[in-house]
Amino acid sequence: MKKTTKVRFIFAALILIALAASYSMLYLSGGRFLNEFFFLCGVILLSYLAGWPGSILVVVALSSGFLYLEYFQGELIRSNYWIQIGFLLLFVTAGLLSGYLSGLIKDLHLGISQYVRRIEELEAKDHISGTLSKKRAADALELELQRARRYNHQLALLLIAIDGFQELVKNFGVDEGKRILLRASEIIAESIRGVDIASRHGEHQFSVILPETPLNGAMVVAERIRRGVEETKIETGLGIKLKVTASMAITMFPDDAITNRDLIVLAEGVLKKCMEEGGNRFRSSRD
C-alpha cells in the first residue's frame, strides 16, 4: 500500500472516530449538541473538499474541546453570546490557518517529489544521446537476464563503437563529436524494436540489449545499424560532410556467457578486434 493511501486511511479513521464520539455525546445529552454536531460535520466536509486534511484534524480537536466545555459549562456558554462568537471565530480562524499551512506543506511536498523525480530521470538518461545511462543499462541487463533464465530464452548483447571517434573530435571539436553521438543514437533507435534497450556505454560506445533474440536476429540488427551509420553523412558547422562508420560486437546468453559482467567483458574484447581489423564491421564471439 502506498504511503499516501495509508495517510488517507488514517485521516478517514480519525474523522470517523471523531464523528462517532460526537454522535455519542449528542445521543447521551438528549440532543443538546445537535447544532454543534452538524456544524462540526459541515466544517469537516468543507475542509475535506478543499483538500485540507490538516485543518480537519484541527477542527476535530477544537470541536472535542468545545463539546467538553459544552457538556460541563453549557449554561455559561449559552447565556453569553460573546463566548459563542469567540468560539465561532476560533473555529473559522483555526480552520483557515491550518488549511493554509496544510496547503503550503502539500505544495512543498509536491515540489520536492517533482524535483526528486526529475533528478531520477536525469540520472537514468545520457544527456548527449538521450539513451539510457550506463548504470541504468546494467540494471536493465540484469533484469533481462533474470527473465531469460526464468523462461529459458536467448538474449543478445550488442556493443557498438564509433570508429575513429577521438580523431574526429580532435579535428572538428567536441560539439561535432556530440552531434555524431546523437545521430548514431537516432540510427540505433530506428533500427531496433520497442522492447530492445539502447544505452550509452562509454565515450564513443553504445550497447543494445536484444531480449528473446537468437544470433542470426542479432546479426540482422547489427548490419542494419552498420549500414545506417555508414550511409549517413553528418554535416559540421563548417559545412563539411563527415563520413562515419561503426564497429559492433555480439555476445549471446546463455551460449557465450551467463552473467552481465561476462557478457560485457567478452563483447568489449570482440569489439576491440573489430576495430583493429579496420572497423565498419561486426562480428560475434564465435567468429
Determine the pLDDT at residue 236: 74
Query: What is the predicted pLDDT for the residue at 132?
Result: 86
Rounded to whole angstroms, the Cα distance separating 143 from 128 reads 25
pLDDT, tens digit, 9 for 90 and up, residues 113-130: 676 666 555 556 777 888
Tens digit of each residue's pLDDT (9 = 90 or more) over 217-243: 999 999 999 999 999 888 777 777 888
- Residue 19 grid cell: 464523528
The rounded radius of gyration (Å) of the Cα atoms in the chain is: 33
| Whether pLDDT at 186 is above 90 | yes
Cα–Cα distance measured from residue 204 to residue 201, given in angstroms and rounded to the nearest whole number:
8
- Structural domains of the chain ordered from first start: 3-123 (no CATH), 134-284 (3.30.70.270)
- Residue 60 confidence (pLDDT): 57
pLDDT-wise least confident of 101-110, 171-180, 200-209, 216-225: 101-110
pLDDT of residue 13: 63
Mean model confidence pLDDT for the chain = 77
Top pLDDT among 73 and 9 is at 9
**pLDDT score for 285:** 85
Question: What is the percentage of the chain residues whose pLDDT exceeds 90?
Answer: 41
Q: Is the pTM of this model over 0.75?
A: no
Residue 202 is predicted with a pLDDT of: 84
Whether the predicted pLDDT of 247 surpasses 60: yes
Distance CA 266, CA 272 (A): 10
Q: What is the pLDDT of residue 49?
A: 53
Geometric angle at alpha carbon 189, from 219 and 129, rounded to 5°: 120
pLDDT, position 217: 96
Give the pLDDT confidence of 54-98 residue by residue, as tens digits.
555 555 555 555 555 555 555 555 565 665 555 555 555 655 565
Going by C-alpha positions, the residue among 285, 275, 223, 277 that lies closest to residue 254 is 285
What is the pLDDT at residue 97?
60
pLDDT surpasses 80 at 33: no
Comparing 167 with 69, the larger pLDDT belongs to: 167
Task: Measure Cα distances from 254 to 102, 147, 273 in Å.
Answer: 55, 12, 22
